[in-house]
Structures are given as structure tokens and as C-alpha cells.
Structure 1
């Protein structure tokens, strides 16, 4: 079964300093049909104006992943982490029993585009933690986040893995799906034919009750692929 969530159907927010598209219900956008997939709760595509950002606020019991697409993201939190992320870098903050943080675009003239992703943890509480890594651009599937931190991936407190899929135009790829799992794909850029469906920038697709799904890149493309418990 393939369920497509087209980009233009996402929730929209425009606060002046921030434009955001919400794949799932978030803040003032609520749609009971789109509350997340398995443990995946939030995918927001955020566009932040120069010199602006999210003031200090709190989180708890959530695994929060940020992926910088363009510009620079400045992070600061109550555990003393002060970090800067550039395009191509991933950040994973485990909120645990509680953490305060802020996220800003420190550039005076360049916009910041990033994906904000929330995953519900398997266990609640515990100490908050912070991880950050740049992953080289590689054709095919690259593991980014895993439950066991294998191959120097970021470690998440959930039975969930995140991969980056990068294909060149005309390239075929088959997505394997293991029993008892759900795949969710978010297209970062480009066009992908998956089975007989065409998905493109900002689209999302839930894949379940399939053993494998054929894909064909209609352009150079990049996607995030979540392997989730059913």
C-alpha cells in the first residue's frame, strides 16, 4: 500500500520571520487524518529569515532531528551545547526528561532552510543529549540515524532508522521492506517514480504491506527514508 501526501496539501504557517510547511499536524495546523506515521510525529520544512530564529523554549520526551538544507543554523541549549550547523549537517537532540534550547539563523543576509523532524522515543525520561554530524553525499542509501549508532550514525532512542537516498536521473533503485515495518519517504528535492506514482519536492509517501517497491529517478533527487515499527 502506498499513501501519498502531496507537498501542496501540507499545513502552512507564515510568521513573517518564518515560513513553514507541516507534513503532519503541528502548532496551529491540525488535521486528524495526518497526525504522523508510527513513531514519526513531525516533519516541518522551515525557512528562516536572516538574523531570526526560535527563542529559547523547552522540549521533553522527544527525539528531535534537524537537517540543514541551505544556510547556517546556530544551536544553544541548557546543557551547555553551543554549535553551528552548515548545509548537509544533521543534528539529533534527545530531549529526555527536559531541555531548553534555541535555534537561530546567525547570517545577516542569507536565509536558512532546514527540516525539523520529531520522533517519539521508545522510553520516556532520562538525561538529554546532543549529537551532530556531516554525512558525505553518496549515491544510493546512506544510514544517518539508527537505534544502535552503527557505522558512526547518530543514535536514537527508538526502533527507527533514518536514511538519506540520493539517485541520479535515470537510476533504478528497489526499496526493501521487512515484515512488521513501515517506510515513510520525504522528498527533499527532485522527482521520483515509485511504483506507478510520481512524487516530487516536499511530497511524502507511506509504504506498508509491501515486500519491495521499485523506484526510478526522473531527475537527480534526494529523499529522507524512515524505517519505522508497524
Structure 2
């Protein structure tokens, strides 16, 4: 399967574009297996997102510009930057606040946890460099031996910035049990010479190989999910929102 997502189904406002990846594949789930929701945000400095709850969401803050101050209900304060990613595993009820110190653009990625009501945990990862040029970088996975940002479901997240002049492929060959979502954070992309993608657009890939390239440059994020592994789909933001959206 190779299918471009219809961006007309995106939701949100002038500052946040919300992608529910399942809406383009099914009429009964807003998520795509363990991939619950992807928000692309562009918020000016000085904004404060007041203390608010999360329940049963694994949330990766992947910011490419700006600086954000994180404060949570455990009394913990830290800063998120393009070189410092944060994974917040909400599990049981957990509150946090975000103060946007500088103009910020990035993704907040809501992954479904492997089980319900796990103990809350916040993990930070320092990156050696903001961009991984022309090479896939694994930034989050279920395997603590491979990534510090350890997801609680069988989900893998990669990123890469590409430049013109060569073709690229997925980082490895995934079997029939795996599905992938290739997301264009910035720039433009051509997939298999037939599908054109621009900023905020994405394509599903399952059971086949693809090649892609750019005429300018592109920043990409790749989500891979094991479609035969368990996950909890009742999270506050990552969970299935079909009933809320249809009403």
C-alpha cells in the first residue's frame, strides 16, 4: 500500500495543524494503530499553554526552532529546544504547562501507550546536532538499548533532512506486520516519481519499497508501527476520537 493522506481532513487553528492519521484509512479510528495524532505547531514567543492534564499518552515534543519551558505536576522544570527533545509518558493523570520563550515551530507527537495507567515519566534527549543530514536518525523506539527516548508501544520514530541530487529509501526493510507514515515537516518531496508532497503532507507505506527525493530540501519524520502489537487506544489525546469528531 502506498497512499497519500488527504490534508483536507486536517483540523486545528491558525497556530496548530492536527493530523489524525487514521481518518484517511478507516471510518472507525482516528489513529493508525499506535500512531494516535500529530500536531504541527507554529507559536509566537510569549504564549503560555496553562497547566493541563494528559492521561495515557506518550508525547514526543519535537521542536525545530525556539525554546519552551516545561513545568509539570511533579514539580519538575526543564527546557525543550531543537537540540533537546522531550518524551512525556503520561500514563496515569499527569499535568504540565508550556511557556513559549522564543518563536517555536515543531511537532507534538501523540503515540498510544503499550498499556493503560503506567507510572508517569518524563525523559529528555540531547542531540549532537539539530539535523541529521541525508541519513536516517532513530530518535525514539521501544528499545532502551537503541534510544534514550523509549516508547511504551512498538513504535519507531526517525528523522532526516535531505538535499537534492540523490534518491533515498526507508531506513530498513519492514515486514508485512509493519506500517509506516512518512511526514514532510518542511520542504517538498517526490515519492516513486508519482506522489508529490509538500510541508505538512504525508504518505502511508505498507508492504512495499519506496524511493524519494527533493528538488530543494526537505525535513522528514518517519513513523513506523507494528500493526500486530498491543496498544491502548483510550488516551486523552492519542486515543480514538471518532465519537468526539463525529459529534
**Structure 1 residues 146-157: aligned runs within 5 Å:** 146-157=141-152
What TM-score results when the alignment is normalised by the length of structure 2? 0.81
The alpha-carbon deviation at position 7 of structure 1 amounts to 4.7
1:36 counterpart residue number: 31
1:219 counterpart residue number: 216
Distance 1:32 1:50, change over 3 A: farther
2:82 counterpart residue number: 87
Task: Flag structure 1 segments of 5+ consecutive residues without an equivalent.
Answer: 26-30
Answer 1 or 2: higher relative contact order, Cα 8 Å, separation at least 6: 2
- For the aligned residue pairs, the C-alpha RMSD in angstroms reads 2.0
The alpha-carbon deviation at position 62 of structure 1 amounts to 0.9
Deviates more, 1:46-55 or 1:89-98: 46-55
Q: Which whole-Å CA distance do the structure 1 matches of 2:51 and 2:105 have between them?
A: 19
1:209 counterpart residue number: 207
Distance 1:127 1:161, change over 3 A: same
What TM-score results when the alignment is normalised by the length of structure 1? 0.87
Q: Which whole-Å CA distance do the structure 2 matches of 1:73 and 1:84 have between them?
A: 6
Contact 2:141/2:147 (<8 A) preserved? no
Contact 2:138/2:147 (<8 A) preserved? no
Distance 1:102 1:152, change over 3 A: same
Among 109, 113, 127, which residue is 2:119 paired with? Answer: 127
> Which structure carries more strand by proportion?
1
Secondary structure (helix, strand or coil) at the match of 1:173 reads coil
Deviates more, 1:185-194 or 1:144-153: 144-153
